[in-house]
Amino acid sequence: MNNKKSIFEKALLALVLISYIQPFMDGNKRTARIVSNAILINYNYCPLSFRTVDSIDYKKAMLLFYEQNNISNFKNIFIEQFEFAVRTYF
């Protein structure tokens, strides 16, 4: 992940991979979102809140990644949330 040039790719991978490996008993997805946002903020991008994402769609996208190693749906959610953040905060 550190060798990726795109900040967005780093943030997205941090989000899905920390969630996937489940390093903690609780709070894995919350921790992953914080780390992902820390990456974005570190490079002067706005953080993502995921507040407009339907929870079922979020879970389905994560399950697709967990079970089939397919990141496309979650990538779309990530992009939509970044666009929402830019429209909302700027």
Is the Cα torsion angle 3, 8, 14, 20 positive or negative in sign? negative
pLDDT value at position 27? 82
pLDDT value at position 89? 80
The answer to the question of residue 2 being in a domain is no
The answer to the question of residue 55 being in a domain is yes
Mean pLDDT in residue range 74-84: 96
pLDDT value at position 4? 67
d(CA 33, CA 28): 9
Range of the domain at 39: 7-89
The answer to the question of residue 25 being in a domain is yes
The answer to the question of residue 1 being in a domain is no
The single-letter code of the amino acid at 73 is N
The pLDDT tens digits of the residues spanning 7-60 come to 999 999 999 999 998 888 888 889 999 999 999 999 999 999 998 999 999 999
pLDDT at 1 over 70: no
Chain position carrying tokens 């992953």: 32
Number of structural domains in the chain: 1
